[in-house]
Amino acid sequence: MTVHLINPSDNSFGVGVITPRWLYVLAEATPRRFGDPHITDETLDPIDPSVIHAGDVVGIGIHTSNALRGYAIGRAARAAGAFVVFGGIHATLFPEEAHERGGAHAVVKGDGDVVWETVLDDCAKGACQSVYEGGRVEPEDLRPARWDLMPSKSYMWASVQTVRGCPKHCSFCSVWKTDGQRPRQRVGDVVMEEIVQLRRLGFRFIALADDNFYPVTLTDLAMAQRRADKAQYETLRALRAERFELMARLAQLPDDMVFFTQITMEAAEDPEFLDAMARARIKGALVGVEAVTPEGLKDVHKGFNDAGEALVDRLRAFRHHGVHVLGSFIFGLPSDRAATFDATVAVAERASITFAQFLMLTPFPGTTDFAQWEQMMASDGTRIAGQPLTRHWLIPQEQRPKVFTPHPAMSSEDIRLGTQAAWDRFYSWSNIWQRAHCVESLKARVTFVLISKLYRQMYANTGIATDSARVDRHTQWARWIAKPCRRLFTAAPMPNLQTPA
Ligand code: B12
Ligand code: SF4
């Protein structure tokens, strides 16, 4: 019985930007008595179906955007006689869908770290349950990853999670509902061991795949201190202290290492934290800016962000302390108007952010936005490929609309074109070249230009383009540029590196 772990994708680039961490975590959770799992990441290359045999176990991890592809793989694996098990955020939210459309024998809801062993034992006995509750695993039980199984020349960034869960409640995000609002911070020793193992293997770029690297703000602490119950204050203080301890240990690693994380804009209030990040070589962070106006922030329940000039100052604070920002913006919010696209790019430019992504508001299941939208669409009779819009992920990619939420002032096409124009303007050659001056040598600048263009090809065009010929062209282009880019991320292995105390 071979255990397969498959990360589905419609587009394969030959090289991946970030390792899908779940593959290697589930590999670690696979007891050695079942042998090493056979891992396929379709963002690299499509699965070869002939590797799946009767009696094998096929684990497929899906989020909403790749669910349809995952279901096709599941059906094929079941037809080959394998046990099919789905997991991941989308399967957690829609377990019955994986059964109906993906040929699932079983679905794991929540974290797979602990329950995976039981699933495999049950499959080995030929008697698996239809649903397993993986729950929210406590930090000490979150598994590290089997990095020894990772193909050595396929990814630019490895990914290590340091904290799961986020205390905020943004309306477009499901993390706080599925992963919970209590930060589950992994123990520093375990995180450091994984990172050291990666550097030994020659990885120096590591994405900290956290929901929010700054789970305790100064405001949270001040509020807890004012309350009579001091226990919460002590818990928060301990979490914050652990963050600083981890960063101090990261700072002792070889100085060619580069980390990237996801963080809320609130960290700009905390120079001590930003300085610790810079010392730890956390050189970049994805910051969810979402909107540049107070109305837009209200639309997404993100009142803790700033707008206007205060926003520009906050984003600049990151850069000032040595942390580059990948700003994430959302278009299609009810308060957006035709002028919003240009105004947003102008803020991104003035705020000295290094990379940006411009997303079209997509109601992802599990979010507050989705629940409201589903209710509003209850009487909508539109069907595409037989599917209502509220099941947009089941519509084949080439027919899937790009915008789903009706807008009070703009058509879907206006929003798509405006979003495309924002990518085009932010990533024009001249703008990229200007931003490339954030690094010193000519070689580093050329690298910066290449990475900027690759990022745009991978994350903008496949998402916004309307016809499949265009998507194919862009995928080809990204494949072509990805290989040389990957080489820029390698480092000589350091087999003798020790874990800093
Ligand atoms: C890091 C990250 C990224 C990175 C890296 C992605 C990558 N290559 O791994 C980047 C920045 C590139 C990214 C991009 C996107 N992301 Co993202 N990302 C995350 C984040 C923060 C962490 C993922 C992670 O590595 N977690 C660590 C692993 C160990 O946990 P896990 O994946 O949840 O897996 C566990 C369980 O789910 C389960 N499990 C998972 N698979 C399986 C399979 C089996 C068989 C079993 C038994 C169990 C199991 O067991 C695992 C161990 O406990 C999550 C948030 C989150 N909390 O999940 C969002 C998240 C997954 N992303 C999300 C989204 C929307 C996106 C984008 C679509 C954003 C966009 N609009 O462009 C893109 C899609 C890119 C793509 N095609 O993959 C959403 C997905 C929502 C949804 N319903 O699908 C999430 C949940 C965040 C959110 N705001 O809601 N993302
Ligand atoms: S968008 Fe970010 S800050 Fe908001 S709830 Fe999700 S993870 Fe937390």
Residue ID of nearest Cα to ligand 1 atom 71:
359
Instruction: List the chain residues with pLDDT less than 50.
Output: none
Q: Is the CB of residue 107 less than 8 Å from the CB of residue 125?
A: no
Distance CA 83, CA 86 (A): 10
Distance CA 27, CA 46 (A): 19
Using DSSP, state whether 148 is helix, strand or coil.
helix
Helices (H), 67-170: 67-79, 89-93, 95-102, 116-125
Distance CA 423, CA 418 (A): 9
Distance CA 276, CA 254 (A): 16
DSSP-derived secondary structure for 286-300? EEEEE-SSHHHHHHT
Neighbours of 61 (CB within 10 A): 25
Q: What is the pLDDT of residue 463?
A: 66
User: Residue 266 corresponds to which amino acid?
Assistant: E
Is ligand 2 within 6 A of the CB of residue 111?
no
Give the largest Cα separation in the chain, rounded: 64
Residue 484 in tokens: 């040389």
For residue 212, the ligand 2 atom closest to its alpha carbon is 7
For residue 262, the ligand 2 atom closest to its alpha carbon is 2
Distance CA 304, CA 443 (A): 39
Question: pLDDT tens-digit profile of 175-233?
Answer: 999 999 999 999 999 999 999 999 999 999 999 999 999 999 999 999 999 988 799 99
Q: What is the pLDDT of residue 501?
A: 86
Q: What is the pLDDT of residue 464?
A: 64
DSSP-derived secondary structure for 441-457? SHHHHHHHHHHHHHHHI
Distance CA 133, CA 30 (A): 17
**Nearest Cα to 60, choosing from 39, 31, 36?**
39
Distance CA 188, CA 248 (A): 11
List phi, psi (to 5°) of 323.
-115, 120
Residue 108 in tokens: 């794991």
Is ligand 1 within 6 A of the CB of residue 175?
yes
Q: List, in sequence order, every residue forming a beta bridge with 41; answer none if it has no partner.
A: 7
Neighbours of 225 (CB within 10 A): 12
For residue 167, the ligand 2 atom closest to its alpha carbon is 8
How many Å lie between the centroid of ligand 2 and the Cα of residue 176? 7
Which ligand has the minimum distance to the alpha carbon of residue 108? 1
DSSP-derived secondary structure for 309-346? HHHHHHHHHHHHTT-EEEEEEEE--TT--TTHHHHHHH
Q: What is the pLDDT of residue 153?
A: 85
- Three state DSSP letters for 219-232: HHHHHHHHCCCHHH
Q: What is the pLDDT of residue 371?
A: 94
Question: pLDDT tens-digit profile of 326-355?
Answer: 999 999 999 999 999 999 999 999 999 999
How many Å lie between the centroid of ligand 2 and the Cα of residue 323? 19
Is ligand 2 within 6 A of the CB of residue 173?
yes
Residue 4 in tokens: 């397969």
Name the residue of 169, 171, 173 to mutate for ligand 2: max ligand atoms within 8 A of Cβ: 173
pTM > 0.85: yes
Which residues, at least 6 apart from 18, have a Cβ–Cβ distance to it below 8 Å? 155, 156, 157, 158, 159, 207, 209
List phi, psi (to 5°) of 100.
-70, -40
Residue ID of nearest Cα to ligand 1 atom 87:
175
- CA 434-489-486 angle, 5° bins: 90
How many Å lie between the centroid of ligand 2 and the Cα of residue 58? 31
Name the residue of 89, 330, 475 to mutate for ligand 1: max ligand atoms within 8 A of Cβ: 89
Helices (H), 304-441: 308-320, 340-350, 368-376, 412-426, 429-435
Within its chain, how far is the Cα of 165 from the centroid?
13
Is ligand 2 within 6 A of the CB of residue 163?
no
Q: What is the pLDDT of residue 278?
A: 97
Using DSSP, state whether 20 is helix, strand or coil.
coil
- DSSP conformational letter for 477: H
**Nearest Cα to 153, choosing from 490, 492, 495?**
490
How many Å lie between the centroid of ligand 1 and the Cα of residue 358? 18
**Nearest Cα to 145, choosing from 98, 170, 112?**
112
Which ligand has the minimum distance to the alpha carbon of residue 174? 1
For residue 59, give the H/E element and its range.
strand 57-61
Is ligand 1 within 6 A of the CB of residue 116?
yes
Is ligand 2 within 6 A of the CB of residue 176?
yes
**How many angstroms separate the first and last alpha carbons of the chain?**
41
Residue 185 in tokens: 């911070």
